Structure 1
Amino acid sequence: MKVAKAKSNPLRIAHLTPAYFSPDSVVGGGERYVYYLAQALRTAGGFEQCVFTIGPDDGLFAQDGIPVRIFRNESQTHGAMNGFSSALWRELSGFDLVHVHQSLTLFGAYTLAIVKSLGIPAIGTDLGGGENTLMLNRRGMELLDGVISISQYAHRLISSYFSGRHEIVIGPVDTDRFAPDSRVTKSPRAVLCVSRIMPHKGIDRVIAALPSELSLTVIGRVYHDAYYDLLRTMSMGKDVRFVHDADDNDLLCHYRSSALFVQASTARDIYGTTVGKPELMGLTTLEAMSCGLPAVVSDTGSLPELVPDRRFGRVFSGHAELTSIFEDIVDGKWPTPGAAVLARSHVVQQHGMDAIGKRLSLFYRTVLNELKRSN
């Protein structure tokens, strides 16, 4: 007589984030990242997940089948990264592990204190939201049981503040959704930039180097009016178009119909302002490559890590190098034949949902097993 194996109960994972991806909160890569990470973990199986976040009022909705609980912000300090809610004291009870996103913020410090007081293991991730003194100089990060960094660059910024187990996980990307479509006609001269319109995103550098033979479409919301006015002035006489209201389907169409993706972020913007943490992970660059777009990126932050193969990715440091790359494109010298296939294959294998889900699952379980052995 065969005895059926008992199924182990799924691990309960709570993702904590001070903002969520929505026009009602914040439309940014850090906020989308939390959803993507939860989706990737779901592909690995064996987990129940919930996202807890902060907003002006209590709420509940589902994002791709994963529940998202919104708690009313009880903080008197302005800014999404400073929000918190005492409701987390009761809601987190029963979870096996908590992942604190934007962990270097006031939100991160507050929620980590709650998590540890409840005796729940905690993983932290910096998504660029802050540099809280309690978490860094006061060594609050050492309360974490593990750290997930979203790039080598992101890890270097915090490595001196945390001595425990860490993992570098670049991605994930939904490579099923962000995929080429042979029915879509590509424009061989179409350059695409997807970015919030802010000075440190370096869109001015793309426009300045753009030759007359190429067109540029910039997709992104305006977060700096004076900079946007400057970009429009620089665009006069060039084939440049701005799109501010593209939804996810529109964005996918642009990825599929363009010939090249450019991300030109800079650590020192056109106004001379120094940016502390530019591009911890260029998510839109990975999405574009997943759709078969060769990518040109600046040498800023994590961006060079995303294009390890010159056949489908180029890195520039200044105006002269970007101009030279555009000339190679116009002259047909780059990208190489098959670049689209190579770009997509790289993202699927290294940064896709399945690949990241397996790595994340292993990291979570390793941290939990080590804690069990030490207790």
Structure 2
Amino acid sequence: MSGLEVDPVDEEAEAEATGETNTIEVTPTDSVDDGPADPVQDADEDRQTIDVEPTDDPVDGPSYVLYGGKGGVGKTTMAAATALDSARRGTRTLVVSTDPAHSLSDTFETDIGPKPEPLDDEIPLYAAEIDPDAALEEGQAAFAAEGGPDALGGLGQFMGEESPMEMLFGGAMPGSDEAVAMQTLLEYLDDDRFDRVVVDTAPTGHTLRLLQLPEIMDTMMGRIISFRQRVGSMVDGLKGMFGGPMDEEPDGMEDLEVLRARIERLRAVLRDPERTDFRIVMVPEEMSVLESKRLRSQLEEFEIPVGTVVVNRVMEPLAEVTDDVEGEFLQPDLESCAFCQRRWDVQQNALMEAQELFRGTDVRRVPLFADEVKGEAMLEVVAACLR
């Protein structure tokens, strides 16, 4: 990929000191005179339509794709576009949103429920928007406060009417939204209906709590299992003293061990770049760059590699990004529009600051479109930029 011209450092010296780099090239553009206001043109109104060159190439990438980043940078759009493109190439794909502020339905312009349902009869595309509150109320979350005396391997039987989560945390487990999201990932990890799962994660803070949960829960499971074994041994001893039957395996212990093994498997999958691509989405603004850097640094602490950085809303013509799309799009006028010129300077400065973030990753960029990206036509355009 070409170098970013605004970077004042010696690129050869920098590359030698830090390893291979990936930078992006942003070129000023002219405006489209008398261009259409709507990028997706309606043929019935005698306007040009978008034509996206299809590809029959099979999906060559990991089975799990997670999009993360600051709120409002376009994670949902990227996840929806990736899933649509994957399904159009014949891969059975599920796109799932773990963001409590759902917008997947709006992006696809159709109602999406909390369970995977097909979106199209012609392609193998499924979607789900996880509703943490509903999942907790229905008792679908493995770590809900309302687990009752049979929750967590029967541990509640030794606590009277108080639930395990109330005893351990004084209420519902912290980060219950993330717990539901993690349970969902565990569920779909073993779902043979899908060859690929694309996840639209919540904003950065929620995502990091989600990624911490395997570690937290693994520790918690270990303590609960140890406690359950000690209490079980004590109860069995009392039973033996009074001639009662001895349990070979305490109630619920097998379920706890299975859950612990699944948590460990999820952790291993997230850390395997051959199976999972964690993609950071950012916009060329200073605040987004700073948060993206923090996210990548914290992901490294969890040993979760970042394979791709997506730069969204870049002020460049679509033709500079992909040759697979034909159609007219409004472009910024950097010659006579003072607002466009100012935003161009902001983007250039931000992209220069982001060079460290780009190192060692694939960099994809998506132009700034004049209109909102929603519906399959525009999602196909975004997908062409992400290939």
Q: Per chain length, whose mean CA-contact separation is higher, i.e. which structure has more relative contact order (CA < 8 Å, sep 6+)?
A: 2
Please indicate, yes or no, whether the TM-score normalized by the shorter chain is above 0.5: no
What is the TM-score with the length of structure 2 in the denominator? 0.25
Query: Of the two, which has the highest radius of gyration?
Result: 2
Which has the larger helix fraction?
2
What is the TM-score with the length of structure 1 in the denominator? 0.25
